[in-house]
A and B are shown apart, each in its own frame.
Chain A
Amino acid sequence: MSEYIIRFVAGGLIVSAFAILSDVLRPKSFAGLLGAAPSVALATLGIAVVQHGAGYAAAESWTMIYGAVALACYSVVVCQLLMRYRFKALPATIVSFVVWLAVAFGLLAGLRAAT
């Protein structure tokens, strides 16, 4: 239980720190870079190294690459839904989550099958 509390607090603090930095930066498109900040990764990988060792963290961060590619696709879809199809931000970001899941798991499955 205490492990989950540590994860929650560490993740919340790091995510909040990047979010505050993003709030104060201008122009907005530059601040948007922090929308892809490695906030969850920093907290999770730090705990993974302590709990399971460097090898485990290396394996975790390797597949994070697929997640990051999926995030790029997700951002493009959100942008298109907002600008082209005039969605509101909340539905656009929620609907696009399907794209993130499809690309991330598609890459994981595809590259596992290839090796």
Chain B
Amino acid sequence: MRAEELYSGNMAATVAKMHALYGHRLKTEDYNQLMSCSAVTDVAGYLKRTRAYSKPLEGIDTTLIHRGYLEDLLRRNYFENYFSLARFEKVADDEIYNYLTIKTEIDEILICITHINAGTDDHIKTLPIYMNRYTCFDLNHLAHVRSFEALLELLRKTPYYEMLARYKPVDGGYINYRACELTLRTYYFRRLLAAAADLHDDELADHICTLIDIINIVNAFRMKKHYHAPPETVKAAMIPIYNFLPEKRFNALYEADDPDEFTALLSKTIYGREAIKEGLSFESPESAMRYIRYKRLRRSFSMATTPPLCFFTYNHLKNIELDNIIRIIEGIRYQLPVTEIVKLLITD
């Protein structure tokens, strides 16, 4: 599909549907109610009474629900809504509508590598088996993988084989997880950017670029703060795609001596200025960056008239909502005070 084709009547219906669905999102009042719950079952009960989550929780006895199962149900609901929208009005022909499948494949491959390195065999517990019909390899088989060779064998007919084959460890040593992750994530974002370019959708490309920038900023900050990593180590771990922040600016961030200097340098960037304008605290640059991205997504979604942009922003906003709910569930499970939970949420 090309940009000029995006404004047809059917497409308008798709956009309208997404806007209507977004009207059912959780509002600040809902989050307050959820955070005031004393048990996970109360959270499930409250969600069951909301318009957005009544259907996935319809047949579930929320008074007995297991935390893990609730999270599983919510994730599955997110995936199902995603695919239902992608199928709506046959918009799924474009590459951009497959981004969640590619992301899931990459995520599961990386989890599998973690299990191989750790020598554990319980990947099956978290595997989204319901995604099996969309992925380009069998997720059930992925659960049985115990070595890098077996993983490569499973991925032989997929684009991931070529990318990962070069990281085959010598003499049964550890797999270079960081290199694998960087390669796969870079591949993912390049594919997304190519899809946006095909659609001539600059705003969509901007969102992908923002996402890359923010991932790099957050990861660099963590490496600086928790591991005091040297500039070259940080740079080697970053996705090498530069967008709104030029490479020079990123290099300056990587060279910061401590988190304070990092934050000071960040405040002078386009994202830092936006954060200051929004009145955000740099106490947690991660939260500030995530919030900026959220605001940008909200702004674009509310103005979006083309299905790809609307689809991309809508699903990312829903993903943020899902993350918020899961953070609340975890917070309640670990008995965090509401004042702490609220810091973890990204809301209006």
Q: Does B bind A?
A: no
Using CB atoms and an 8 Å cutoff, list the residues of chain B in contact with chain A: none
Using CB atoms and an 8 Å cutoff, list the residues of chain A in contact with chain B: none
